[in-house]
Structure 1
Amino acid sequence: MKGILITIATLFLFCCLGGALKCYNCDPGSCRTEEECSPDKDACLIVRFGGRNVSKCWKYSRCTNEYISIDFTLNNFRFHCCQKDLCNSSPKTTCSEIVLGLVSLVVIWMLRSRRGF
């Protein structure tokens, strides 16, 4: 029985892996719009310029200053490319998620210590 469960779990894992990459897709501003990338787009990109951010699916081989400068017609910008689902969120979003996680851990710890666990 244990062997069957391990086999099913392994098959489920392999079936779920290899799906299309998901990235945030936003024009200047902060957003939570998710996009499933087409097969030719294998990275998530965030470009920061003039206090604004643009996030989208991107081709990893084009994650260079030259390509981004041409495609976005920008001269002064910063960018980050990554290859994990939804890794191109704005720093404000990431920071707020970290704070929320830490607050949740503190609340759980306080509740557990209060009950004597």
Structure 2
Amino acid sequence: VQDICVHLGILRTSYYRWKKDLTQNHSKRQLEKQVGTLCRKHQYRYGYRKITAILKMRMRINHKTVQRIMQKNQWQCRVKMKKRKKNGQPYAVAGNILDRNFQSDRPLEKLVTDITYLPY
């Protein structure tokens, strides 16, 4: 390698840096293919955490790398909108039996409470 580098007029460190970049770029492209395959297989329902968990069964990988790949290629999971309850009139309205007459002749005849704090 040293003789070839001298003959070509480049530094040996430049050759090894170039070689290292080639292997890293190849592994990144291969990882992107795997993430893309998993996203398509699961119909973009899984986020980066779930994809990372699946990939961790096969290899060592960081979740930030998977998140970066998914963001770069717009492979984020499709989120369902949460259904919200419509606030409106209550289902059944109770009649006003006491009509604000809280006086009673016997104890425990009229018991009242306020339940407006309960979400309906």
TM-score range, shorter chain: under 0.3
Structure with the higher strand share, 1 or 2: 1
Q: TM-score, normalised by structure 1?
A: 0.26
Rg: which structure is higher? 2
Q: TM-score, normalised by structure 2?
A: 0.26
> Could you say which structure has the greater relative contact order, defined with CA pairs below 8 angstroms and 6 or more residues apart?
1
